Amino acid sequence: MNWSLDDLKRLATDCPCGQPHQAIPLEHLEVRPGALAKAAAWIRARYGRVVLVMDEHTRAAAGDALAQALTDHGVLWTACLIEPNGQGDVVADERSIVQALIATGPDVEALVAVGSGTLHDIARFASSKMRIPFVSVPTAPSVDGFTSAGAPLIVRGIKTTYQTQAPIALFADTDVLERAPKELVWAGFGDVIGKFTSLADWAFGAIAAGEPYCAHLAGLTREALETAVAQADGLARARTDAIRSLMEALILSGLVMLLFGQSHPASGGEHHLSHDWEMEFLRSGRRQILHGLKVAAACGVIADVYHAHVESAVAEAVRAGQAPWASLAGREEEVRAILGSIPSGDHVRALMRRIGAPAEPSELGIERSLVTASLKRAHKLRNRYTMLRLLNETNAL
Ligand SMILES: [Zn+2]
Ligand SMILES: [Zn+2]
C-alpha cells in the first residue's frame, strides 16, 4: 500500500487543507500473511485475559487459530459465540449485545472481534460500554467500517448508529481473507465502488450547502476507490494480492472517515438508498442483503438518476433563487465537473459483473417499486445535502 498509518495519523493536526481533523486512535495495523500470530503477540504484550467475539463460521475461519496462538503466548481467553437469529443471520441487536456483555467478566481487559462487520459492531459497542479496548481481526474484506467508531445496532427492530469506539489495533491475515466466501468479497468491492457517488455528493454538498469538506481527504478516498477498481480482474480470479489490495482500500476509506469525524467521505445518496432498502427489509422481516451489494446496486441507480436530472435541476434551482439553491448560481460548471466524475450506471454495473457479482437491485430481490419509493424518501434519512435531496426539493424525480 502506498500510505502508512503514521502518515494518516499526522493529518489530524497537519492536513494540507489547514483544518484540524479527528485523531485516529488505532495504534497498530497489519494486513499480511501471518497477521494472526502477530495479533497474539501484540495482545500478549498488553492484556492477560480477552474475550473472542465470533460466530461459528469465523471461529472456523480464524478464531480457533487465534485462540491457539493466544494459548501459546499464555493469554487467557474465553470464546463468545454469537448465535444467529431465527432467519439464520448473526445480527448486531440487543440479544447479541447482551450475549457479549455476559461473556465478559470483570477481569477481561479487551475484546477481540473475529469476523465480519456485524461481529465488529457487537464487540465495538460492548467493549465501549465496559470501558475496555477492542482489537479488530477481520476475516473478510467485506466492508469499510472495521475501523469506524460508530456501531449500527438494531434495537427493537429499528436500526440506529451509536457512537462508541474505534479499535485499538487491526490485524487482517491475508491467509484468512483469501478463503473468505466470494459474496463477502463482492460486498467489500461494492462498498468501495459506492464511493463514485459518495465523493460526488460530498463535493456537491460543500458547494450547494456549505457542508464541511477536505479536498485532501477526498483525494485519499478516491485513491481507495481507484485501488479497488484496478483489482477487478484479480478479484474475479480470487488472487491473493487483489484481496489484500481490496482490504487495504477498505481500511483506508474507513480511516479517512475516522479522520473526518463524519461519514461524508464514504457515504452519499447511494448509502441513503441502501439504508432505506435495509429498513424496508427489516420492517417486512425479510432476510438481510450484504451492505456492500446494496450499496453498489444503489450506486448504479443513483448514477443514472444524477446524470439524467441533476443538471436541469440545478438550472431550475438557480432560476428559483431561494436559499440554499442561491449558492449554486454561477457554479454550474463545478456541478458539471462533479457529474463528470461519476461514471454511467452501466459502467458501475459492468464493474460488479466483472468480478461475478450481482449489479442490479432486482438481482438482490429489491423490487422496482421499492427502488422508486426509496428515491423519493431516502434523502430524509440523514441530515446531509446530497444531489438526491436537491432532486427531491426541486420535484425533479
Ligand atoms: Zn483536511
Ligand atoms: Zn458502506
Residue 281: what pLDDT?
93
Identity of residue 392: N
Sorting pLDDT into bands at 50, 70 and 90, what band is 344? Answer: very high
Q: Which residues contact 39 (CB under 8 A, 6 or more apart)?
A: 30, 66, 69, 112, 135, 137, 169, 171, 173
Q: 125 with 188, same domain?
A: no
- Residue 264 alpha carbon to ligand 2 centre in Å: 11
Domain boundary among 123, 158, 180: 180
Residue 80 has pLDDT above 80, yes or no: yes
Sorting pLDDT into bands at 50, 70 and 90, what band is 120? Answer: very high
Whole-angstrom distance, CA of residue 315 vs CA of residue 133: 51
Domain annotation covers residue 336: yes
Which ligand lies nearest to the CA atom of residue 217 in the structure?
Answer: 1
Domain boundary among 162, 180, 198: 180
Residue 383: what pLDDT?
86
- Residue 191 alpha carbon to ligand 2 centre in Å: 5
What confidence tens digit (pLDDT) does each residue in 202-228 have?
999 999 999 999 999 999 999 999 999
21: domain CATH number is: 3.40.50.1970
Which ligand lies nearest to the CA atom of residue 11 in the structure?
Answer: 1
- Residue 21 alpha carbon to ligand 1 centre in Å: 7
Domain annotation covers residue 174: yes
Residue 134: what pLDDT?
98
Cβ atoms 47, 110 nearer than 8 A: yes
Residue 1: what pLDDT?
76
The C-alpha cell that represents 340 in the structure block: 463528470
Mean pLDDT of 23-32: 97
- Residue 287 alpha carbon to ligand 2 centre in Å: 19
Domain annotation covers residue 221: no
The C-alpha cell that represents 128 in the structure block: 465501549
Whole-angstrom distance, CA of residue 79 vs CA of residue 52: 5
Sorting pLDDT into bands at 50, 70 and 90, what band is 174? Answer: very high
Q: Which residues contact 297 (CB under 8 A, 6 or more apart)?
A: 190, 274, 352, 358, 359, 360, 361, 363, 364, 366
Q: 90 with 35, same domain?
A: yes
Q: 201 with 342, same domain?
A: yes
Pairing of strands 158-163, 150-155: antiparallel
Mean pLDDT is lowest, of 81-90, 106-115, 179-188, 219-228, for: 81-90
Residues with CB under 5 A from ligand 2 (ion): 191
Which ligand lies nearest to the CA atom of residue 212 in the structure?
Answer: 1
Domain annotation covers residue 76: yes
Q: 192 with 88, same domain?
A: no
Residue 323 has pLDDT above 90, yes or no: no
- Residue 15 alpha carbon to ligand 1 centre in Å: 5
- Residue 51 alpha carbon to ligand 2 centre in Å: 27
Sorting pLDDT into bands at 50, 70 and 90, what band is 172? Answer: very high
Which ligand lies nearest to the CA atom of residue 299 in the structure?
Answer: 2
- Reference 34, options 125, 153, 137; nearest CA is 137
Which ligand lies nearest to the CA atom of residue 273 in the structure?
Answer: 2
- Residue 262 alpha carbon to ligand 1 centre in Å: 13
318: domain CATH number is: 1.20.1090.10
Q: 195 with 65, same domain?
A: no
Q: Which helix (H) or strand (E) holds 46?
A: none
Q: 324 with 343, same domain?
A: yes
Give the count of domains, the chain. Answer: 2
Q: 18 with 107, same domain?
A: yes
Domain boundary among 180, 198, 227: 180
Residue 110: what pLDDT?
98
Sorting pLDDT into bands at 50, 70 and 90, what band is 326? Answer: confident
Domain annotation covers residue 17: yes
Residue 356 has pLDDT above 80, yes or no: yes
Domain annotation covers residue 218: no
Q: 205 with 341, same domain?
A: yes
Q: 328 with 340, same domain?
A: yes
Residue corresponding to grid cell 445496532: 153
ipTM over 0.90: yes
What confidence tens digit (pLDDT) does each residue in 38-73 have?
999 999 999 999 999 999 999 999 999 999 999 999
- Residue 219 alpha carbon to ligand 1 centre in Å: 10
- Residue 123 alpha carbon to ligand 1 centre in Å: 30
Q: 110 with 26, same domain?
A: yes
**Domain limits for position 316:** 183-212+262-393
Q: 324 with 346, same domain?
A: yes
Q: 191 with 160, same domain?
A: no
Domain annotation covers residue 234: no
Strands in the chain per DSSP E? 28-32, 49-54, 76-81, 110-115, 134-138, 150-155, 158-163, 169-173
Domain annotation covers residue 246: no
